[in-house]
Structure 1
Amino acid sequence: MEIKLCSLLPLSLCFFLLFNCCFAQIEQQQGFLSERLQQQHRRGRPRTDCRIQSLSAREPTRKFDSEAGFTEFWDRNSEEFECAGVAAVRNVIQPQGLLLPHYNNAPQLLYIVKGSGLLGTVIPGCAETFESPQRERSMRGQESREGESQYRTGGDRHQKVRQFRQGDVLALPAGVTLWFYNNGQDRLVTVALLDTSNPTNQLDQQFRHFFLAGNPNPREQSGSRYEEEIRARREQEQGEQPQRRQSGNLFDGFEQDLLADVFNVDQELVRNLQGREDQRGRIVRAENFDVLSPEFEEEEEEEEQSHRQRREREHEGRRGSQPNGLEETICTMRLRENLGRPSRADVYNPRGGHISTLNSHKLPILNFLQLSAERGVLYQNAVMAPLWNMNAHSILYILRGTGRIQVVGDAGNCVFNDEVREGQMLVVPQNFAVVKKAGNQGLEYIAFKTNEQAMTSPLAGRLSAIRAMPEEVLMNSYQISRQEARSLKYNREETTVFAGRRSSRGYSTRAMEYALTAVEAFLKA
């Protein structure tokens, strides 16, 4: 018996190693297949050939005023936004302002530019885990039938409400009902990127808001004249009668009798539900707003950070990055990550600035959204190494300061070379090389990327493509001496953020021209 067991032991070990190798290969193939399907899907959806000859740093073109704030949209018909398959929106919410409940047809990454507030999400199938204290006391006080009635009517239940603040990134899936409330003392400013080319959006690439309350668009400030002219021309060509523009919520389209029957309420309440006479817009004032939510405290943040670091250490060394289904469920999944703290930087240069990245390793829900983000802070005159995004489009939003950005295309042509300022947005297509130089006041930005694990490849610095190539390749490619090749490779020891030089404006301009020339030469080689 002992001899049989000894002979089976090596055989069992062989099967164990074989199965592990097979599972590792299957997991790796699934990862590559997922990446390939995502890229194929994104290539098939855009309506243009992405033959971009020039880019523009754009500001919002449409504005909708509301009672307690306003909403702005970037031109979704611009060539670069169509090519990237994205849309962008900015909300400015006054204190005690409530952005009405709604859902979108595409997943989004939302960055808190300024202020703080509450986020409410309604995820189908998830329990109402937040209960007001009044209900709990009524339950403990009475266990009779009368007490049960008081329990049903005396309190409130709802799904989890999350507190957020400046510097947070919120990951919000498509089709999930959302609302925002500004419970702070300052204005709440948010900017969001919506991935209309995501597989979850199976319609066209039009960005759609579906509001569940109010009258979202009672009056538009500017920017819709072009769309109105197109709509009128189309109606004239098709021989249709002009129709009244609908701007209500979803309930406005249903018959009142049907809604009264569905909710078992009277007609007057149904009219409030439809909001046809509501002129407050999509952001309304809510002075008496008492929602159950845990306080946002520094201790909770530190505890969450410690838990995240411990979990990352536990997962370190494991194969692949696909979730195993046991770490988090959709009902308890984290939707928020802060990128505003310098201590969370992934790249840090005390003389140049810091870069913080957010991908699916740090926030697992990004695996489903297929999005990621990067926040950059460049000090005065600092330069970020020229690089290209290997597997994603990058949409830059300027948070603060000014700077100069240059973008170079595949033919070595400069498609963007201009100053950027706060509030502007710039689309950098995949594989286009980009270099950023901060102005005298520094430059801060948030970059939304259309891949959950976006990767970049720098052209200068310690981890660059130039440094990784042999000297002979550089000498023959650029027709330079060995000493010049070594200068290209080793003159910069930083990684991606280079310290700025306190010099004249003329030198700064020459430095940018030299960087652009180097990028063009590399792309043409």
Structure 2
Amino acid sequence: MELNLSPQLADTTIYEGEGGGYYAWTGAKFPVLAEAELGAGKLVLQPRGFALPHYADTDKIGYVIQGTCTVGLLSPNSPQEKVLIINEGDAIPVGEGIISWWFNGGESDTTIIFLGKSSKSYNPTGQFHYFFLTGALGFLGGFSTDFISKIYDFNEADAVKLAKSQTNALIFKVGPEINMPSQPNCNKDEYVFNLNDYSLITAENFPVLDKIGLSGSLVRLRPNAILEPSYSTDGSFRIIYVIKGSGRVQIVGLNGTRVLDSNVQKDQLFVVPKYFAVALLTNEDGLELFCVTTSSRPMLGQLAWSTSAWVGLSPPVLQAALNLSPEFVKRFKSKNQ
């Protein structure tokens, strides 16, 4: 099966207005997302922008590209929300069915990129689907007035007020008359990992990732540098977002076929299929990448440098496999040590 792996910008504006916007990569425009059962989205919140309480049908990791954000997390049937303050460089896992809300209490825009799996999506189209509790698209407004009245013991007028007062749909700007939560009420380290301190988060150092089957990493490359070729050995996909910079990416798949040879730039997304090898070269502005792997304990094989197969294989095996002289094989092995 031929895959179109060309890096893509977000192709769909889900919402944009006062308070911020949400933008998505969709399987309709980026088919590999549907084929690999992945999803990606970008949340932008203006100061005092508020994303209404919702849950999703997917597991994902959010990474703060810029700004600060107050986040509320509520597990199903839990008596109290967990309130966190996340900042640039923080990664926050959000599992399926977890209710969350997002509020920008800062003075500049906040941008968060979400990458994850769409394998459990109710409509497997390669994107995340959000179910809102309130607002124009919320559950409360979906039930009839008589149901709302009986469920919450309200008269008809109050039932309409409860279900219909909030006319905003996804994101809006909260007025100063409402004092939104501004202080955390839990240990941030249990829910958030800062990738500026640890460039790789797996279940080894963040056990909660075992619940969602994902891991994340931050890769920073200097100008004119190379990210050595690697491949997944456990059948996991990698979904990669370019935070800043530019460069060139090559992906090689079955039968040594180069399935991608493309330039990449800021705000683009690309996918590395399972078992395929990927390498990157940076331009003068370097590269910064956020990567999510569909395994909480990923295993990668290397094709260059000290941990690569070239170091582990014996010289006679390499001589035969490469059809090269012992002298050249010795030089080649030395380049990887």
TM-score by length of 1: 0.60
Distance (Å, rounded) in 2 between the aligned partners of 1:472 and 1:335: 50
Distance (Å, rounded) in 2 between the aligned partners of 1:282 and 1:415: 38
Determine helix, strand or coil for the equivalent of 2:107: coil
Distance (Å, rounded) in 1 between the aligned partners of 2:334 and 2:227: 17
1:457 matched to 2:301: yes
**Matched letter for residue 366 of structure 1:** L
Within a 5 Å distance, the mapping from 1:329-348 to structure 2 comes to 334-341=190-197, 344=198
Q: Give deviations 1:123-143, integer Å, cap 9, x for gaps.
A: 134343xxxxxxxxxxxxxxx
1:362 matched to 2:205: yes
Query: Which structure's relative contact order is higher, taking Cα pairs within 8 Å and 6+ residues apart?
Result: 2
Question: 2:4–2:31: 8 Å Cα contact kept in structure 1?
Answer: no
Distance (Å, rounded) in 1 between the aligned partners of 2:264 and 2:160: 47
Change (3 A) 1:114 1:275: farther
**Matched letter for residue 171 of structure 1:** P
Q: Which ranges in structure 2 are unaligned for 5 or more consecutive residues?
A: none
Within a 5 Å distance, the mapping from 1:80-479 to structure 2 comes to 80-128=32-80, 159-197=81-119, 201=120, 203-206=122-125, 207-215=128-136, 248-275=137-164, 278=167, 280-288=168-176, 289-294=178-183, 334-341=190-197, 344=198, 356-391=199-234, 392-479=236-323
- Rg (Cα) greater in structure: 1
Distance (Å, rounded) in 2 between the aligned partners of 1:372 and 1:102: 23
How far off its partner does 1:269 sit?
4.3
Distance (Å, rounded) in 1 between the aligned partners of 2:129 and 2:228: 37
**Matched letter for residue 361 of structure 1:** E
437-446 or 473-482, larger mean C-alpha shift:
473-482
**Matched letter for residue 481 of structure 1:** S
Q: Give deviations 1:197-253, integer Å, cap 9, x for gaps.
A: 1xxx374524321011212xxxxxxxxxxxxxxxxxxxxxxxxxxxxxxxx222222
Question: 1:112–1:189: 8 Å Cα contact kept in structure 2?
Answer: yes
Change (3 A) 1:126 1:383: same
Determine helix, strand or coil for the equivalent of 2:254: coil
Change (3 A) 1:266 1:440: farther
2:20 counterpart residue number: 69
2:10 to 47, 60, 68: 60
Distance (Å, rounded) in 2 between the aligned partners of 1:284 and 1:267: 27
Higher helix share: 1
Change (3 A) 1:124 1:486: same
Question: 2:134–2:166: 8 Å Cα contact kept in structure 1?
Answer: no
Change (3 A) 1:462 1:286: same
Higher strand share: 2
Q: Which ranges in structure 1 are unaligned for 5 or more consecutive residues?
A: 1-50, 129-158, 216-247, 305-333, 345-355, 494-525
Determine helix, strand or coil for the equivalent of 2:76: coil
Change (3 A) 1:95 1:474: same
**Matched letter for residue 214 of structure 1:** G
Distance (Å, rounded) in 2 between the aligned partners of 1:463 and 1:295: 42
Question: 2:25–2:41: 8 Å Cα contact kept in structure 1?
Answer: yes
Q: Give deviations 1:410-449, integer Å, cap 9, x for gaps.
A: 1211111111111110010111100011110110000111
How far off its partner does 1:264 sit?
2.5
**Matched letter for residue 55 of structure 2:** Y
| Count of aligned positions | 330
Distance (Å, rounded) in 1 between the aligned partners of 2:94 and 2:74: 11
How far off its partner does 1:365 sit?
1.0
Question: 1:94–1:188: 8 Å Cα contact kept in structure 2?
Answer: yes
Determine helix, strand or coil for the equivalent of 1:466: helix
Distance (Å, rounded) in 2 between the aligned partners of 1:413 and 1:276: 57
How far off its partner does 1:79 sit?
2.8
How far off its partner does 1:292 sit?
4.3
Question: 2:82–2:184: 8 Å Cα contact kept in structure 1?
Answer: no
Change (3 A) 1:414 1:271: farther
Determine helix, strand or coil for the equivalent of 1:467: helix
Distance (Å, rounded) in 2 between the aligned partners of 1:458 and 1:273: 57
Distance (Å, rounded) in 2 between the aligned partners of 1:189 and 1:68: 12
Change (3 A) 1:255 1:473: same
Determine helix, strand or coil for the equivalent of 1:411: helix
Determine helix, strand or coil for the equivalent of 1:472: helix
Determine helix, strand or coil for the equivalent of 2:106: coil
Determine helix, strand or coil for the equivalent of 1:490: helix
**Matched letter for residue 246 of structure 2:** T
Change (3 A) 1:360 1:81: same
Q: Give deviations 1:263-288, integer Å, cap 9, x for gaps.
A: 2334444335444882x431111133
**Matched letter for residue 294 of structure 2:** T
Distance (Å, rounded) in 1 between the aligned partners of 2:158 and 2:2: 52
Change (3 A) 1:126 1:212: closer
TM-score by length of 2: 0.92
Question: 1:373–1:447: 8 Å Cα contact kept in structure 2?
Answer: yes
Change (3 A) 1:203 1:273: same
Percent same amino acid at aligned positions?
A: 25
